[in-house]
């Protein structure tokens, strides 16, 4: 996320770190460079100016905290000011009010990620807050959009209110509210037609839906790839519909940072969630602190720990720990379950990105890591018999050949996997409590990288 911005900022700030005193001159040079970097990352000009002013105000003429070099002091100031311009230290949680159901309206341009975000948010509310959630589409312009919500809801076990093209968007919304309140749903998430342009015609249906459901939250969903302009589009929407918050999507892509940095200052609306991938779990509560820590490479252990808790299978991990404690040997069933857990966390490169001290150096490491390898490793294991998975030692000559043939790989790949299995086994047998966390530590210390290198 914001890799270029992050690397360049760190380069500049690290330079300051290595000198022992700050003068007006070198603060000026550094800040000039920081200004350039932010502008090139597409951060809106007024936001950049206000950022630089605040940093100057904090830095010049103030006594720096004891124990910090002036450079470290400056990094600390940059850290606090960046957080401030992105909305402050506190996360802006969803407001569900006390009406049942709590109606939440999602609006935004076509393709911004509304439908996907509704499903992600529904899952988030269901899993993290134990809410009974219903979703409905009022997108009568794009029947495919309705179908999309329906099929996503179905595969994620989220209740879906069937919409009919015979009704207007506002009628559908009204029916959904009735059905939700009769059936004690706690939250109703309403998808709307996406506009291509913002004009009165396009907006009128959405405004009608808004007045029928009286949403407690009207969330503006916007694609981070459109940069600082996203904040202007939000402002335009806000003129017709009072927005209560923003969901910034596609932060996993190569957006440069403009949207995330500019949104709060330009619109005055809080970013509540960010979309960081296409799959259902890839929605995070927006935390300026976490983002700035990531950008300034202070690590992101918090979200990594959340990932581990949410996406890995705790029961499976505990089973494995108990098994190893009892002295049972680690086998290919266990290896497979570890690979699956890593994959469900987004693969090795995503995990690395969140480790402290990594983003700065991880480009090179990442070039050497191939997440597809996880999938290939799984397919080799799938070609093994139960016997072979339980007793990997028996895998020799002709068995190797058969497995390679079954998985569509070379014999050398099977040999390599067996070696990786042995390495993992050695590591796993040393770990006897919270295995996933320790595994992260090992990843960080570079011990596991060699296992996932490309050929």
Q: Is 249 in the site for ligand GDP (CB under 6 A)?
A: yes
Of the candidates 103, 194, 288, 392, which one interacts with ligand GDP according to CB under 6 A?
Answer: 194
Q: Rank residues 146 and 380 by Cβ distance to ligand GDP and give the closer one.
A: 146
Q: Is 108 in the site for Mg ion (CB under 5 A)?
A: no
Count of chain residues binding Mg ion (CB under 5 A): 3
Which residue stretch of 84-92, 180-188, 195-203, 271-279 sits at the interface with ligand GDP (rule: CB under 6 A)? 271-279
Q: Rank residues 85 and 251 by Cβ distance to ligand GDP and give the closer one.
A: 251
Q: Is 117 in the site for Mg ion (CB under 5 A)?
A: no
**Would the CA dihedral through 52, 58, 64, 65 be positive or negative?**
negative
Helices marked H in 296-430: 301-311, 314-325, 332-344, 347-353, 362-367, 372-382, 386-390, 397-407, 411-430
Indicate the helix (H) or strand (E) that contains 45: helix 45-59
Of the candidates 116, 126, 312, 338, which one interacts with ligand GDP according to CB under 6 A?
Answer: 116
> In angstroms, rounded to a whole number, what is the distance separating the alpha carbons of residues 274 and 354?
16
User: Could you please report the per-residue DSSP string of 115-166?
Assistant: HHHHHHHHHHHHHHH---EEEEE--TT-HHHHHHHHHHHHHTT-EEEPP-TT
Of 276-315, which residues contact ligand GDP (CB under 6 A)?
A: 276-278, 282
Of the candidates 210, 250, 264, 425, which one interacts with ligand GDP according to CB under 6 A?
Answer: 250
Which residue stretch of 2-10, 177-185, 274-282, 367-375 sits at the interface with ligand GDP (rule: CB under 6 A)? 274-282
> In angstroms, rounded to a whole number, what is the distance separating the alpha carbons of residues 137 and 127?
21
Of the candidates 6, 115, 117, 317, which one interacts with Mg ion according to CB under 5 A?
Answer: 115
> In angstroms, rounded to a whole number, what is the distance separating the alpha carbons of residues 154 and 281?
15
Of the candidates 108, 169, 270, 299, which one interacts with ligand GDP according to CB under 6 A?
Answer: 108
Please answer whether residues 251 and 353 qualify as being in contact, where contact means their C-beta atoms are separated by less than 8 angstroms.
Answer: no
Question: For residue 215, what are the CA distances in angstroms to 104, 141, 189, 209, 263?
Answer: 5, 22, 9, 9, 22
Q: Rank residues 226 and 436 by Cβ distance to ligand GDP and give the closer one.
A: 226
Which residue stretch of 12-20, 248-256, 348-356, 431-439 sits at the interface with ligand GDP (rule: CB under 6 A)? 248-256
Count of chain residues binding ligand GDP (CB under 6 A): 18
Which residue stretch of 28-36, 141-149, 156-164, 251-259 sits at the interface with Mg ion (rule: CB under 5 A)? 141-149
Indicate the helix (H) or strand (E) that contains 249: strand 245-249
Pair of tokens at residue 419: 């070696």
Of the candidates 101, 113, 169, 299, which one interacts with ligand GDP according to CB under 6 A?
Answer: 113
> In angstroms, rounded to a whole number, what is the distance separating the alpha carbons of residues 79 and 81?
6
> In angstroms, rounded to a whole number, what is the distance separating the alpha carbons of residues 202 and 196?
8
> In angstroms, rounded to a whole number, what is the distance separating the alpha carbons of residues 244 and 238?
9
Q: Is 110 in the site for ligand GDP (CB under 6 A)?
A: yes
* Residue 264 contact, options Mg ion, ligand GDP, none, Cβ 5-8 Å cut-off depending on partner type: none
Name the site residues for ligand GDP (rule: CB under 6 A): 108, 110-116, 194, 249-250, 252-253, 275-278, 282
Name the site residues for Mg ion (rule: CB under 5 A): 114-115, 145
């Amino acid at each position: 996320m914001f890799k270029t911005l992050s690397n360049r900022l760190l380069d500049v700030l690290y330079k300051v770190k290595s000198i022992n005193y700050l003068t007006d001159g070198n603060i000026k040079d550094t800040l000039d460079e920081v200004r350039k970097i932010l502008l090139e990352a597409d951060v809106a000009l007024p936001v950049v100016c206000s950022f630089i002013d605040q940093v100057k105000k904090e830095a010049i003429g103030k006594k720096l905290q004891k124990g910090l070099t002036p450079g470290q002091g400056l990094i600390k100031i940059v850290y606090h000011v960046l957080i401030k311009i992105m909305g402050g230290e506190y996360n802006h949680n969803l407001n569900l009010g006390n009406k049942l159901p709590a109606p939440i309206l999602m609006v935004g341009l076509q393709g911004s990620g509304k439908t996907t975000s509704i499903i992600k948010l529904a899952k988030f509310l269901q899993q993290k807050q134990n809410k009974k959630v219903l979703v409905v589409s009022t997108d009568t312009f794009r029947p495919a959009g309705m179908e999309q919500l329906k099929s996503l809801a179905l595969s994620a076990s989220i209740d879906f209110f069937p919409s009919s093209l015979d009704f207007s968007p506002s009628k559908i919304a009204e029916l959904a509210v009735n059905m939700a309140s009769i059936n004690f749903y706690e939250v109703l998430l309403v998808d709307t037609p996406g506009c291509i342009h913002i004009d009165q015609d396009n907006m009128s249906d959405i405004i009608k839906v808004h007045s029928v459901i009286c949403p407690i939250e009207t969330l503006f969903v916007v694609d981070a790839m459109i940069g600082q302009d996203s904040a202007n589009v939000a402002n335009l929407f806000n003129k017709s519909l009072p927005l209560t918050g923003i969901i910034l999507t596609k932060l996993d892509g190569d957006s440069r940072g403009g949207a995330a940095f500019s949104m709060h200052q330009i619109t005055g609306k809080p970013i509540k969630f960010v979309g960081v991938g296409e799959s259902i779990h890839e929605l995070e509560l927006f935390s300026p602190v976490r983002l700035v820590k990531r950008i300034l490479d202070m690590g992101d252990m918090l979200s990594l720990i959340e990932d581990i808790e949410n996406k890995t299978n705790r029961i499976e991990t505990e089973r494995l720990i108990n098994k190893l404690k009892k002295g049972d040997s680690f086998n290919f069933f266990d290896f497979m379950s570890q690979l699956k857990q890593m994959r469900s966390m987004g693969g090795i490169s995503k995990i690395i990105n969140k480790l402290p001290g990594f983003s700065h150096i991880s480009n090179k490491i990442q070039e050497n890591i191939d997440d597809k390898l996880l999938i290939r490793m799984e397919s080799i294991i799938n070609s093994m018999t139960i016997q072979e998975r339980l007793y990997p030692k028996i895998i020799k000559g002709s068995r190797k050949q058969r497995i390679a043939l079954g998985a569509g790989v070379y014999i050398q790949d099977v040999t390599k996997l067996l070696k990786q299995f042995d390495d993992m086994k050695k590591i796993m047998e040393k770990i006897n409590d919270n295995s996933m966390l320790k595994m992260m530590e090992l990843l960080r210390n570079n011990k596991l990288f060699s296992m996932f290198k490309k050929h």
